[in-house]
Structure 1
């Protein structure tokens, strides 16, 4: 079971936007005037778009990307204490994670556009990390699209001589259209949650096998998972 983090399990947008601006200015010396949507993007992808949209002379290459990601983790770490006041766990997130953890032969982790350090800090701030195996998660610390992260997670979840999860046995929970498309490409069954502004029609059109109003009913989530993965 793969979970998108932002606006699926939690909302840390206000703190994250401040960290992006801080990190970008540290690395480029220029203010981050024009933001971009984080939906479906990794932090690596966002850095290159920040450079394209904002007036900076810094060359967006591997070196500047590494410096940006390091600065971003530091900038977020300095603001993590603001999360209780400026962020929140999404309704039902903890209960749904706990319910799925009780399902037999199920491993839970995340596929996040954020770096490993930032995503872990967010989850810990709201007590959601205990249900997840973050050692096999996919994170925006590497410059790969989310579809590639999903494929990588399936390989790591098997381990040495472990169970190899098929595409039909791999589920992604998200509220994002780009993430739904990434799941289809990366080999996972997408289940959508209406936690953002995206409509049910758009999520189904993108390929969502099931659509839930929210995570407040863990039984409905598990039923959706069973339906979506029943070959």
Structure 2
């Protein structure tokens, strides 16, 4: 069960752990690609022939990449994007039952979330910052029993039409309001497999912790600016040590 929000009496300064979802916590690429293809053809009337990289991008950014690569004109009023996101949610919902069979939780993901949840006595809150629209993100996490470890009410999602650096900042503000505690930049980390997310974390004033579990190598994560990199999430003690090392909380008096 998700812990209750921290009260102001419990802590004036708290730690915020942000998680990317795709290829950091879960791999549901097959289902996602099928949903993308259905939504794209529904909105544009054309098949999705040429794919684009989705790592570190929001679903609306992915749609623009699809339009460009498939030589389809982009509308000027944004209506096409809104239609795509609605269609994407519906296409993904029709495939929710496929997630356990065609997807997987990344190695160590559940244990890693449980380990961070155990840091509550250190005034730690965890949630997600993802390019995936909210409904699809919830479905991805719930399919593998990962949602209960996270305060998803304060998370940042692709439905918000902001780049990830902005989502990190908005999530920090929502956490402060919801939990009655300050979550300073120096006490915020973003755990991700994507080099683009590492760059977004630095722009959003969070310390990136790279996980070389996707297609990005350790050297690429470090080149993007990650000083802390894990091979995967199977070593929970190493993860917790990195989180503690990357954040600064005042010592209890």
Among 159, 166, 169, the residue aligned to 2:184: 166
What is residue 194 of structure 2 aligned with on the other side? 176
- With 159-168 and 171-180 compared, the bigger mean Cα shift is at 159-168
What RMSD in Å do the two structures reach over aligned CA positions? Answer: 1.4
What is residue 201 of structure 1 aligned with on the other side? 219
Give me the whole-angstrom Cα distance separating, in 1, the residues matched to 2:216 and 2:139.
26
Deviation at 1:57, TM superposition (A): 5.0
What is residue 48 of structure 1 aligned with on the other side? 64
Using CA pairs below 8 Å that are at least 6 residues apart, which structure has the higher relative contact order? 2
Contact 1:28 1:58 survives alignment (8 Å): no
Closer/same/farther in 2, CA of residues 5 and 160 from structure 1, 3 Å limit: closer
Deviation at 1:201, TM superposition (A): 1.7
Give me the whole-angstrom Cα distance separating, in 2, the residues matched to 1:140 and 1:69.
9
What is residue 31 of structure 2 aligned with on the other side? 15
Q: What TM-score do you get using the length of structure 1 for normalisation?
A: 0.96
Written as runs of structure 1 = structure 2, the 5 A alignment for 1:1-231 is 1-56=17-72, 59=75, 61-103=77-119, 104=121, 105-159=123-177, 162-230=180-248
Q: For residues 91-150 of structure 1, what are the alpha-carbon distances to aligned partners after superposition, in whole Å with 9 as ceiling and x for unaligned?
A: 110001011001021111100110000000000001000001111111111221100000
Give me the whole-angstrom Cα distance separating, in 2, the residues matched to 1:108 and 1:30.
40
Deviation at 1:197, TM superposition (A): 2.5
Contact 2:154 2:178 survives alignment (8 Å): no
Contact 2:64 2:74 survives alignment (8 Å): no
> 1:40 is paired with a residue of what secondary structure?
coil
Q: Which structure 2 segments of 5+ residues have no match?
A: 1-16
Contact 1:15 1:86 survives alignment (8 Å): yes
Contact 1:48 1:60 survives alignment (8 Å): no
Contact 1:168 1:188 survives alignment (8 Å): yes
Q: For residues 174-226 of structure 1, what are the alpha-carbon distances to aligned partners after superposition, in whole Å with 9 as ceiling and x for unaligned?
A: 01100000000001110011102222122112111211111111111101111
Contact 2:208 2:226 survives alignment (8 Å): yes
- With 59-68 and 115-124 compared, the bigger mean Cα shift is at 59-68
Contact 1:42 1:145 survives alignment (8 Å): yes
The count of aligned residue pairs is 231
